[in-house]
Structure 1
Amino acid sequence: MASSSKSGNGSLREYVSKEDEPDGKYRVVKRIKTPVQRIAVVETEKGETLIYGDGYVMFGTTKDDELWAESLVHIPMAAAANRGSVLLIGGGGGILAREALRYPDVKRITAVDADRIMMNLGKSLKSLVKFNQGALNNPKVTTIVKDGRAMVEGSRQKWDVIVVDVPEPSEDVPQLRRLFSVNFYRLLKERLQPGGAIAVACTCLNAEMPEFSGSIIKTIKAAGLYVLPYHMDVRKSYGQDWAYCLASNRPLSSSGVKLRIKPRYLTESKLKGMFVIPNRYRKKWKKGKIQTDRNHVLRDIHEEH
């Protein structure tokens, strides 16, 4: 059941889809139509805040957001030779920046998001700022409102750690393929410091769509990077198995990935299991294809399933 405080145009379902509606009662605090997407700010009866983009949850102030951020940030931070500079593509919520700031050797973080409103929420929405501990307002953090691909293309900077956390290409936003293409990963390789590490969010592992992750793995390898896939199995709590890729310009081994700080949820024992991928997924990864700037490999897989 929902109540709504409307700000923006369009029906409620354009902002909060039926498929991704919160359990229990909730209130839509804001509806904002931006040049990039339709954003909804939702408060649940549990006291959590959820940020929706085009009807689906992007991030929020929940435990699973913390698990997601820890999985996406601390693995490349553990694998990288240095952590002085960090690039976060899709960092408007500030949660990734919060985790990166936990490392004392981090000197500068660049957080990029294509939507100014999303970035502003991460900087000023009270519940979100409390959750991300004011990360986007930290003097070590530079925020840039720009498409992640365009930002990297226009920069000559290099980073020790790069994190890519953007939605998968779909029928509604096929242009997101440019943030998953071999062309883009080649750019990231050029912008990566020697011994640096990249983490890419690859949506969920599941029996119906394993070739999605397989295609991302093949595409990163085709860009000339070493790849080590990993996952966070949260099926007991959320019915999902999150997939990620760790990449580098040097060979990777799970034995060489050692946590350098103590995250809230991620432990050394859990870390070992994250690099053990069930064979039922690995076998089907062979069906994956390389995503380019021009084809629609990932979009087609997404739409088919």
Structure 2
Amino acid sequence: MNEYAIGAAFGALIVLAVWVSLYWRKRWIESYIMEEEEPDGDYKIILRKKSPHQKIAVAEACGIYHLFADGSEMLSTNKAEDQYAEAIVHVPMAAARNRESVLIIGSGAGITAREVLRYKEVESVTAVDLDPIIVEMGKTFEPFLAFTRGSLNDPRVTAILEDGRTFVENSTDRWDVIIIDLPDPSFHAPGLNKLFSVEFYRLLKTKLNPGGAMAIACSIVSTMPEYLAAIRATVKTAGFHVSPYHWDYIVEFAIDWGFCLATLRPVDVLSLEPLVPVKHLTEERLEDMFRLPRYLRVDWDEDEVQTDNNTLLAEVLSGEYRED
């Protein structure tokens, strides 16, 4: 083999090695941060860990920190996260008759607890989350501590490391407000179905004090309004008065989050107003959130509900749901 051939072969090996390296780096990154979830622009992964439940990563981009669980973003220290937290917390707090005791299922690093603690009448917050690494980061990781104002370290907060359903089933407590902020159910995480089921909502109904209110995060509904409709039907079947609402908080990206407000009594949602000073949730904005745009108002069979034994919401999210 002449020198030219040897050089060409060597060069080809280098190209192949670079390609293999880039391929496996991409595969590695996607196992912690899905491509469609990556932060805009240049970013660096500053932490990655495997908890008993999922792969966890923290990325930093332009001074903003992003927390990922199994590739999906859970928390970002930015304005959009503030808006989301205001929507899921201050609506049920305004609708509830009392606000002394609050249960958060899916408390994560503590952004919802931060907003709950802004109410002087709150005496106790029970913050339930399954993942010990995420909770520990909420208590000790400086960027998250600064963003959540150390909410999980507040003496009024009791952090519980347990599955939300298991905790509620074994608890004798009752609460004035319940906030459910969980990942979407999927075929890869079938246990989550039981945290969105009519059976679970019926159980939660027995755990609310008279005049209580509950808020449920209903994911990004911009492209799947059926998901919001299915949760509304499920909560209604459990015996609640249900008012769906939304927050198109990143209009430029056409992202619209859905929520359901569930109460034990009828509530005039158009008369609700924030009870504490907030950055983004004005009285007018709150009223507009309950006026669902046309694209979110879909026909839905009220008998089609999530149960402990079906995969309705996972089918809706995956596009596999078909009406009979």
Residues 226-305 of structure 1 correspond to what in structure 2 (within 5 A)? Answer: 226-286=241-301, 289-304=304-319
**Per-residue displacement from partner, 1:172-195 (whole Å, max 9, x unpaired)?**
212211110001101110100000
* 1:24 paired to 2:41: yes
Aligned-pair CA distance for 1:102:
0.4
* Runs of 4+ with >6 A deviation: none
Alpha-carbon shift at residue 304 of structure 1 (Å):
1.2
For residues 39 and 219 of structure 1, the distance between their equivalents in structure 2, rounded to whole angstroms, comes to 31
Equivalent residue for 2:53, pick from 27, 36, 42: 36
Do 2:233 and 2:302's aligned partners in 1 also have CA atoms closer than 8 Å? no
Q: CA deviation at 1:50?
A: 0.6
Alignment pair present for 1:13 and 2:30: yes
CA distance in 2, matches of 1:287, 1:79: 24
> Are residue 221 (structure 1) and residue 274 (structure 2) matched?
no
Change (3 A) 1:89 1:114: same
Partner of 2:8 in structure 1? none
Residue identity opposite 1:86 in structure 2: V
Runs of 5+ consecutive residues of structure 2 not aligned to the other structure: 1-26
Q: Which residue identity is paired with 2:106?
A: G
Q: Which residue of 1 aligns with 2:5?
A: none
CA distance in 1, matches of 2:101, 2:253: 33
- C-alpha distance in structure 1 between counterparts of 2:273 and 2:225, whole Å: 27
Q: Does 1:155 align with 2:171?
A: yes
* C-alpha distance in 2 between matches for 1:288 and 1:165: 24
Q: Which residue of 2 aligns with 1:5?
A: none
Q: Helix, strand or coil for the counterpart of 1:117? A: helix
2:137 matches 1:116: no
Letter in 2 for 1:30: L
Counterpart of 2:118, as a letter, is: R
Using the TM superposition, give the Cα deviation of residue 140 of structure 1 relative to its aligned residue in structure 2, in angstroms. 0.5
C-alpha contact 1:213 1:285 (8 A) present in aligned 2: no
Per the TM alignment, residue 21 of structure 1 is displaced from its structure 2 partner at its CA by 0.7
Larger Rg: 2
Aligned partners of 2:267 and 2:32: how far apart in 1?
A: 41
Report the Cα offset of residue 237 of structure 1. Answer: 3.7
Q: Is there any run of 5+ residues in structure 1 with no aligned partner, and where?
A: 1-9
Aligned position for 1:135? 151
Asked whether the equivalents of residues 270 and 290 of structure 2 are also in contact (C-alpha less than 8 Å), the reply is: no
Q: CA deviation at 1:41?
A: 1.1
C-alpha distance in 1, partners of 2:147/2:157? 16
- Contact persistence 1:29–1:42 (CA under 8 A): yes
Mapped contact 1:232–1:241 kept (Cα < 8 A): yes
Contact 1:215 1:288 in 2 (8 A): no
Report the CA distance between 1:205 and its aligned residue. 2.0
Matches within 5 A, 1:172-251: 172-206=188-222, 208-251=223-266
Q: 2 CA distance for matches of 1:56 and 1:288?
A: 31
What secondary structure does 1:283 align onto? coil
2:298 is matched by which residue type in structure 1?
K
Q: 1:288 Cα deviation (Å)?
A: 7.6
**Retained in 2: the 8 A contact 1:79–1:256?**
no
**How many correspondences in the alignment?**
294
Q: Residue 182 of structure 2 aligns to a residue in which SS?
A: coil
TM-score (norm 2): 0.88
Q: Which has the higher helix share?
A: 2
CA distance in structure 2 between the aligned counterparts of 1:253 and 1:95, rounded to whole angstroms: 27
Q: Could you tell me the TM-score, scaled by structure 1's length?
A: 0.93
**1:34–1:117 Cα contact (<8 Å) kept:** yes
SS at match of 2:244: strand
Displacement of 1:34 after TM fit? 1.1
RMSD: 1.4
**Residue in 1 aligned with 2:75?**
59
Tell me if structure 2 keeps the 8 A contact 1:218–1:289: yes
Question: Which residue does 2:10 correspond to in 1?
Answer: none
Q: Give the whole-Å Cα distance in 2 for the aligned partners of 1:64 and 1:196.
A: 27
Question: Do 2:272 and 2:283's aligned partners in 1 also have CA atoms closer than 8 Å?
Answer: no
